[in-house]
Amino acid sequence: MVLVIRPKHVSTNIDLNTALKNWATENEVEGFEGVGDYEGISLQIKQVSKEVYLESMARARSAGDGPEAEVEIYRAMGMLVQHGLQSLKGLEDDDGPLEVACVNGKLAEEDVEMLHDNGLVLDLWRAVKHYNELSATEKKQFGGPQPLT
């Protein structure tokens, strides 16, 4: 039996540190410093459509060089996060806990801006991109207990 994960499939609740560790391991990033920074933050990731994924990657790749390119790359990352993040829990502001959640298929612009303003987009992009590149079988195991080696 071959598992097929369709667009809009949502992952289980995943610890952000675990998702980043999975990303770093898969991409062979030694000593990745982001793991451990997000104690108590969890997320659900949504499978994006092939069109959204390819458009986001194309925008990032065609950005060019210089400061304008950095802005365009960050926008492309934000686009993938906006469409691929189902929910984010564990964040707090001065008024207490807050939850970022997908409404009508994507995150609200103000939620994406808040994630940008707080420097979360790059790490969320890593998790969303990695999840969307996994096979169906790997998606079912993503964020779950890892086998002992």
pLDDT digits (tens, 9 = 90+) for 20-59: 988 998 888 887 876 778 999 999 999 999 999 999 999 9
CA distance 126 to 29: 12
What is the band of 149 on the pLDDT scale with cuts at 50, 70, 90?
A: very low
What is the band of 4 on the pLDDT scale with cuts at 50, 70, 90?
A: low
Per DSSP, the residues of 78-142 read HHHHHHHEEEEEEEEETTEEEEEE-BTTB--HHHHHHHHHTT-HHHHHHHHHHHHHS-HHHHHHT
pLDDT at 122: 93
pLDDT at 143: 63
pTM summary value = 0.86
- Whether residue 66 is predicted with pLDDT greater than 90 in this model: the reply is no
